[in-house]
Chains A and B, each alone.
Chain A
């Protein structure tokens, strides 16, 4: 009772920041990222719906494989899938308590993302040289909008990974479990970004 009678202005820690709440089975950030991804599904869902509506309403619509570089995009798809694997490896290494290997896998993920972006830049440059701009027609309009927005998501992911590789890794010494959780959360985001590409690739390049 004595502890309760003390009337400090104690700032209480936010509960379930690191450990899962028993009845929901998740920690706060994990639920947060799933909700965020739900909103991302709605964002890209709206854009994909727009693509469907525009394409079904159009008199003619170019074939993606005639306009775009399919081999390069296939390679990019492969690269992103690899990066999804490396991010899981990073998390599992951290779970095993191995920061060094975890960091190597995070670096590998960043490398994959950068390769993807460089390839994308080549693709964009090629389209611009061919005088294909967003205003050329609705196919290129939606192509540049969707891949551009996806590219921004990749860049965002790279920034977060760089943070966790550099200054953010200090947390490991203090609270390794929380650091591992953060990699898990950003990993979930990363899988989603990959998944968007898995949809973008056939819809834009192959159909």
Chain B
């Protein structure tokens, strides 16, 4: 058995709010192995984003344990274990695309001669060659999001955490980016944690689907995908795909029934 890259055991996170405590995560157990593509799916408030933020040390758990690459999330962050892609590309409007991708390199203190080489590499990876000197507002939403993925890839993190990166994009762009993301994943062999609330997106992309439900945020089902690694868009019409999608939907429904 492979050593897990992300291991959570009995993870709790309670936010104290004026209306009393909110259990964002309760008793979450999960292992993610190297090279897996794990999707987190569930209705809003189920803790999927919170879990990703805990992995990224942007939130700190109130109970249980979590390790990333065998370290605490804080240590993992300092050792540049992961790149994080937010729902909104969040490119700096005053920097060119290349300048934005260079940002983590500047902050992490990569030697200057290396910057251009790395920027060129990752721009090629996300299919943005030739757009380095453009400013973000000159690019479409999909291209901006690709630039933000490139920014997360520019330093050598082997984990990519993505929080609904394509949530704000239209269906057609989304399909295209999903395909590209799979190709990128195959090429880079990174471990990917991907938050979404689209069932087809989760099933299409993942090797493992984590179904979550709210109040308290918890895992209701973990589905190991039986789909092959090679996935053309048409795979979404196969019975195998539909069966997995069905199981995800059942899982989501079960979570809701519990709630009402």
A binds B: no
